[in-house]
Amino acid sequence: MTAVPGAIVRRGGISRTVFIISLVVVAAISGVSGYLIQGFLHPAPPTITLIGAGSTFVNPIITAINANYTKSNPNIQINYQSVGSGAGITALGQRTVDFGASDAPLSNAQILSTSNAITIPDTIGAVVIAYNIPINASYSIHKGLHLNVTVAAQIFQGGITYWDDASIVALNRNGLPSGVSLPHNLITVVHRFDSSGTTFVFTGYLSNSSVWKGGQSKQPKGTAWAPGALAPSGNQGVASIIQTVSNTIGYVELNYALSATPPIPYAFLWNPNGGGSFIEPTLSSSGLAASSLPSLPAGSGNWTSINLLNSSNPGAYPVVTFSYIMVYQELNVYGSAMNQARAQALVNYLWFVVNGGQDQATILSFVALPSTVVTNAEASIRSITYNGQTLHS
C-alpha cells in the first residue's frame, strides 16, 4: 500500500466552498426568497383574492375592469384565468372558483348540475370572421371581405376550399381594389379546440344557414369543420394562428382582431334587413344589434333562448352576443373556503362590473350594458346570499 494510512483519498470533487455555495444557491432560489420578495415589494399584501375563470372572449374587458377595481379597492384583487367558457363553468361546478365566465348560457343540464347558479350578463361583444389572405409579398386582402352566412358555413364546413371559389368571388366583385383578385390558394379553417362560448355563438350564427351541419355547440364534433382545420385553444390562440399562418380563416372576438399588430383583417357580413348590405363589425354596429333586446329572464332562470344574433335592425352586425358571469346564489356551497368578507367582496365586485366597470367597455370595442340589462343584473346580484343574508341592498 502506498497511500498514507488513515488518509481518506478524495478524487477531486467539489470543495467545501463550492458545497456551501451550492447550498446557498439552493436556499436562495427556494421559496424562502420568493416569500421575502413579496414581502419586500408589497408590505401589506391584499387580504382578499377572488378567483374567476372562463371565457377568453371577455378577457380584455374583464382584466381592465379588475385592474380598475383593485385601484380603488387595493385590498381586493381578482385573479381571472382566461381558460375558455367550458373550463370556467366546469371550474364553477367543481367549486374551485368564485365565479365563472361564459359566452354561452348554462345548458339545461348544467342548470341542473350547478344547482343555484345564477346568470349575470357582464358585457356585449361581436364575433368577427378573421382571415389572412396574402396576394403577394406586399399586399394582402385588408378588412372587408364580403361574406354571407351560407358561404361562411360552406367555408368552415369544407364545402368551399379555395379563396377564388365562385361563391366568394360573386360576393366580392365590388369590394377589392382594381387589378386585385382572390388567389387560388387552399383555405385553412381555424376553429377552437377547447370548449368555447365564442364557438357557441358563432355556430349559432352559422346554424341560420341550412347548409351548416354542425349544429350549435361549444365544441362541435370534429367532422363539423373542414378537413385539415387547425384548432388552437382560446380566442388568443386563434388570433395568433391567423396572424402567423397564411390562407387561414377563423372566428374571434372583435377586440382580438383590432389589438393585434398589425390588426387582423375581418369580414363584413350580410345583413338582409332594410334592403340588405354588408355590415362591418364595429362598436356601433354591435350596439345596434343590442338596441332591440329580448326580454331577459331572472338570474336564476333559463337563458338558453337568449341571443343577439341576426338582429332585425338594418345596420346591425349579425354576430353579436351577451357574455355572462355565473355565480352561486347561495355562497354557503363553498363551505369553509368562503367567509363573510369574501362573500361581501364578491358581491361588491360583481356590482362594480355591471355598473362602474362598464366605463371600460367602449374603448375596448365592447358594448356597454344597456340600462335594462343592468337592472336585471343588479336584481340577480341582490339575490346572492351568505348565511341566509343578502349582501347588497
Partner 1 sequence: MAYAMGLFCVVIAIVPLASILVEVIRNGFSTINLQFITSLPGVPGETVGGIAPAIQGTLLLIGLTGLIGIPAGVLAGIYLAEFGNNKFGRAVRFLNDVLTEFPSIVVGILISVLLVVATHQYSPIAGAIALSVITLPVITRTTEESIKTVPNSLRDAAMALGITRWRTTVSVVLSTARSGIITGVLLSIARISGETAPLILTILGSNFFFSNWNQPIDALPLRIFHDAFQADPFTRQQAWGAALVLIIIVLTLNVGVRLATRGRYSSSRTRL
Partner 2 sequence: MSKTEEVITVSPERPSLNFSNILHKLAHLSGDDIFEVLSNIFACTALVVIVLTGIVLIRGSLPVLGKFGVGFLTGVDWNTTLGQESYGVLPYVLGTLVTSGIAIGIGIPISLGIAIFLAEMAPTRIRAPLSQIVEVLAAVPSVIYGFWGLLVLRPWIVNYVEVPLTASLGNLTIFHGSPHGLDLFMGGLILAVMIIPTVSSISKEVMMAVPSSQREAAYSIGATRWEVVRMGVLSYSRSGIFGAAILGLGRAVGETMAVTMVIGGALGPEAVPTSLFMPGQTLASLIAGQFNEAESLQLSALVGAGLALFGLALLINVFAQFMVWKILKVKAGAVE
Least Å distance, CB 378 to partner 1, is 25
What's the rounded Cα separation, in Å, for the pair 253 and 55? 11
Q: Which window, 90-98, 120-128, 222-230, 346-354, contacts partner 1 (CB under 8 A)?
A: 90-98
The answer to whether 224 touches 215, Cβ cutoff 8 Å, is yes
Draw the binding track, 70-109, toward partner 2 (x: CB under 8 A; -: no contact): -------------xx-xx-xxx-x-------------x-x
- Under the binding rule (CB under 8 A), the answer on residue 329 touching partner 1 is no
State the amino acid at position 172 in one-letter form. Answer: N
By beta-carbon proximity to partner 2, the closer residue of 189 and 381 is: 189
Collapsing DSSP states into helix, strand and coil, what is residue 45? Answer: coil
3-state class (DSSP) for residue 372? helix
**Least separation in angstroms between CB 219 and partner 2:** 5
Which positions from 198 through 257 interact with partner 1, judged by CB under 8 A? 232-234, 236-237, 239-241, 243, 256
Instruction: Return d(Cα 174, Cα 185) in angstroms, integer.
Output: 21
Determine, following the binding rule CB under 8 A, whether residue 215 of this chain makes contact with partner 2. Answer: yes
The verdict on 302 binding partner 2 (CB under 8 A) reads no
- Give CA–CA dist 192/232, Å, rounded: 6
DSSP 368: P
- Dist. CA 295–CA 78, nearest whole Å: 31
Q: In 10 A of CB 79, how many CB atoms?
A: 12
**Closest distance of CB 194 from partner 2, Å:** 6
Do 273 and 163 touch, CB atoms closer than 8 A?
no
Please, which of residues 248-267 interact with partner 2 by CB under 8 A? 248
Among all chains, which residue has been given the C-alpha cell 362573500?
A: 343
Among partner 1, partner 2, none, what does residue 215 contact (CB within 5–8 Å per kind)? partner 2
* Nearer CB in complex with partner 2: 177/228: 228
Minimum distance of partner 1 from residue 243's CB (angstroms) = 5
> How far is 315 from 282, CA to CA, in rounded Å?
11
Q: What is the 3-state secondary structure (H, E, C) of 90-128?
A: HHHHCCCCCEEEECCCCCHHHHHHCCCEEEEEEEEEEEE
How far is Cα 143 from Cα 280, in angstroms, rounded to an integer?
A: 9
**Which residues contact partner 2 (rule: CB under 8 A)?**
83-84, 86-87, 89-91, 93, 107, 109, 113, 186, 188, 193-195, 215, 217, 219-223, 225, 227-233, 241, 245-248
**Which residues contact partner 1 (rule: CB under 8 A)?**
8, 11-14, 18-19, 22, 25-26, 29-35, 37-38, 41-42, 45-46, 49, 51, 53, 59-60, 63-64, 67, 77, 79-81, 83, 94-96, 232-234, 236-237, 239-241, 243, 256, 259-261, 264, 334, 337, 364
